[in-house]
């Protein structure tokens, strides 16, 4: 049976290290690091995530600024808020919760964020920095996945990595990060011919397609390390209830893989912990205080 990669426990440890560094930052800078989270609309799942982010931000000794805007907010009003946060010296990181309501253009909104406060790493400037190996901000979910992989495998150099999914927020940055770790990287997607054959050569499989339990154990190379980014709510056995499953069929995959992240308790908790890490890094850069990033 595969070893379970406990992302929840790893994220707790990371948050403890962040809290220590955050206290030191507050002493050195004379103010805490600050994260502003902007939520447009009343999507219940988004409200839960935003609340959790706020709680964990405060628990790590940082300041949390929540901006909840009505679903019919105009683009001009949202851009005005972002402009204000860009110049607010108490705000080091800005996160605009996605997806936005359909009348708001996500690319326009992300482009308005100061790249040096873009702790999600979604701004084209940070995408370009990642692609060219310059320091910037890396999207939280893929960075959390690489932390789990490095913790389990040490150097990833030379390994065959297959990323399933090519989204801007997970698949593409994940591929860039694995390339920077000197993996041989394949990006598979909905148009890939013979996905099982592609997956079967992977030492590392990252599933980020948003299709419940799509990746089967029989596709895997025995001993492979499997990172499941999927968070899918599906009907539970009990009528009217739902349960959370990943993009990987855990029951079959865990009999073939060497190690696997569970859902929940795998990649999800890492995403928020890395967001706090990016915010603390942003604060040090913005305040000109030196941070030993290896301590995180």
Ligand X SMILES: Nc1nc(=O)c2c([nH]1)NC[C@@H]1CN(c3ccc(C(=O)N[C@@H](CCC(=O)O)C(=O)O)cc3)C=[N+]21
Residues forming the active site:
53, 97, 120
Quick one: which of 56, 199, 269, 279 contacts ligand X (CB under 6 A)?
269
What gap in Å lies between CA 6 and CA 264, rounded to an integer? Answer: 10
Which residues are within 8 A (CB) of 35 and not within 5 positions of it... i.e. 6 or more apart? 53, 57, 62, 63, 64, 65, 91, 92, 93, 94, 95, 119, 275, 276, 279
Range 209-248, binding ligand X (CB under 6 A): 231, 244
Quick one: which of 6, 31, 47, 49 contacts ligand X (CB under 6 A)?
49
What gap in Å lies between CA 233 and CA 244, rounded to an integer? Answer: 5
Contact 268, 13 (CB under 8 A): no
What gap in Å lies between CA 144 and CA 271, rounded to an integer? Answer: 6
Beta carbon of residue 265, minimum distance to ligand X (angstroms, whole number)? 5
Quick one: which of 268, 276, 279, 282 contacts ligand X (CB under 6 A)?
268
> Cβ-closest residue to ligand X?
268
User: Closest CB to ligand X among 173 and 268?
Assistant: 268
Q: Mark residues 9-48: x for contact with ligand X by CB under 6 A, - for none.
A: ----------------------------------------
Tell me the three state secondary structure of residue 11: helix
Query: Degrees (nearest 5) of the Cα angle 116, 117, 118?
Result: 95
Rg (CA), the chain: 19
Range 82-121, binding ligand X (CB under 6 A): 95-98, 120
Its sign, for the CA torsion 206, 280, 99, 262, is positive
Q: Single out the segment in contact with ligand X by CB under 6 A; choices: 152-160, 174-182, 235-243, 258-266.
A: 258-266
User: Closest CB to ligand X among 120 and 247?
Assistant: 120
| Structure-token pair, residue 231 | 């968070």
**Site for ligand X contains 271 (CB under 6 A):** yes
Beta carbon of residue 205, minimum distance to ligand X (angstroms, whole number)? 18
Beta carbon of residue 143, minimum distance to ligand X (angstroms, whole number)? 11
Task: Read off the DSSP letter of residue 217.
Answer: G
Beta carbon of residue 158, minimum distance to ligand X (angstroms, whole number)? 30
Residue whose C-alpha is closest to residue 19's, from 276, 266, 293, 271: 276
User: Closest CB to ligand X among 176 and 183?
Assistant: 176
Binding residue positions for NADP(+): 165-167, 231
**Binding footprint of ligand X on the chain (CB under 6 A):** 49, 95-98, 120, 140, 231, 244, 263-265, 268-269, 271-272
């Amino acid at each position: 049976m595969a070893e379970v990669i406990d992302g929840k426990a790893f994220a707790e440890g990371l948050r403890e290290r962040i809290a220590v560094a955050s206290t030191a930052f507050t002493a050195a800078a004379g103010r805490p690091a600050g994260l502003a989270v902007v939520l447009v609309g009343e999507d219940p799942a988004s409200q839960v995530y935003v609340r959790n982010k706020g709680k964990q931000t405060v628990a790590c000794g940082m300041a949390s600024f929540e901006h909840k805007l009505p679903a019919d907010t105009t683009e001009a009003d949202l851009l005005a808020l972002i402009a204000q946060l860009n110049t607010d010296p108490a705000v080091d990181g800005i996160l605009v919760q996605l997806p936005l309501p359909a009348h708001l253009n996500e690319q326009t909104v992300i482009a308005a964020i100061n790249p040096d406060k873009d702790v999600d790493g979604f701004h084209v400037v940070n995408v370009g920095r990642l692609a060219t190996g310059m320091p910037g901000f890396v999207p939280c979910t893929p960075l959390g996945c690489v932390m789990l992989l490095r913790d389990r495998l040490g150097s990833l150099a030379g390994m065959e990595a297959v990323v399933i999914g090519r989204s801007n927020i997970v698949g593409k940055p994940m591929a860039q990060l694995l390339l920077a770790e000197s993996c041989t990287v394949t990006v598979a997607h909905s148009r890939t011919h013979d996905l099982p054959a592609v997956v079967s050569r992977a030492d590392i499989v990252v599933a980020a397609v948003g299709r419940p339990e799509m990746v089967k154990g029989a596709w895997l190379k025995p001993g492979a390390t499997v990172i499941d980014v999927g968070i899918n709510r599906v009907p539970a056995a009990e009528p009217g209830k739902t349960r959370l499953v990943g993009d990987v069929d855990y029951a079959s995959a865990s009999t073939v893989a060497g190690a696997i992240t569970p859902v929940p308790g795998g990649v999800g908790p890492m995403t928020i912990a890395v967001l706090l890490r990016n915010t603390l890094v942003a604060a040090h850069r913005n305040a000109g205080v030196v941070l030993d990033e290896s301590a995180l």
